[in-house]
Amino acid sequence: SPSSSSSSLSPETVISIVTSVSTQEKKEFLLQTCPFLKPNQIIVRSANSGVYDAQLTEALQSIQQQQQPQQQQQEEEEEAEEGKRHEGFDVIMDAIGGYTFKPNYNHLSRGGRLVTFGSSDFTPMRDTVNWPKLIWKYLR
């Protein structure tokens, strides 16, 4: 298996990725345009940071439960060899910032990435780049 450090991510080392959106319609859009994301990887976030924190925990547990037991055992062995504990997300894509920063940061694995993109104050009001898709291409 390829050698990896906690400071480098690649498709082979990304175990868990999640993004959040403000509406069910945006979730449906991401499911249609970003085939690498599964429904449990897209959170329709609550405006309450405490509830959002619980949503992140639930999403992480769901993703971990979906992993094949054999794959999970192999990853745990590799992580033990590297001294890496996988207790959070490898990548969190966040399009809002503000109140989501702390819950997002607290749910990152060691060496995980918090990617903040867009902003209602700075995002153009026209069709633009599909940021989650672009971020995934960058990670590849």
Contact status, residue 131 vs residue 29, Cβ threshold 8 Å: no
Concatenating the DSSP letter of every residue in 11-79 gives TTT---EEEEESSHHHHHHHHHH-TT--GGGEEE--SSHHHHHHHHHHHHHHHHHHS-HHHHHHHHHHH
**Residue 117 has what pLDDT?**
78
**Residue 55 has what pLDDT?**
94
Residue 100: φ, ψ to 5°: -85, -15
**Residue 80 has what pLDDT?**
57
**Residue 25 has what pLDDT?**
93
pLDDT in tens, 83-137: 555 589 999 998 877 788 899 999 999 889 998 876 555 545 566 677 777 777 7
Give the other-Cβ count within 10 Å of 60's Cβ: 20
Whether 34 has a pLDDT exceeding 50, the answer reads yes
**Residue 50 has what pLDDT?**
84
pLDDT in tens, 52-84: 999 999 999 988 888 756 555 666 666 555 555
Read off the pLDDT of each residue in 28-42 and give the average, rounded to a whole number: 90
**Residue, of 24 and 116, whose pLDDT is higher:** 24
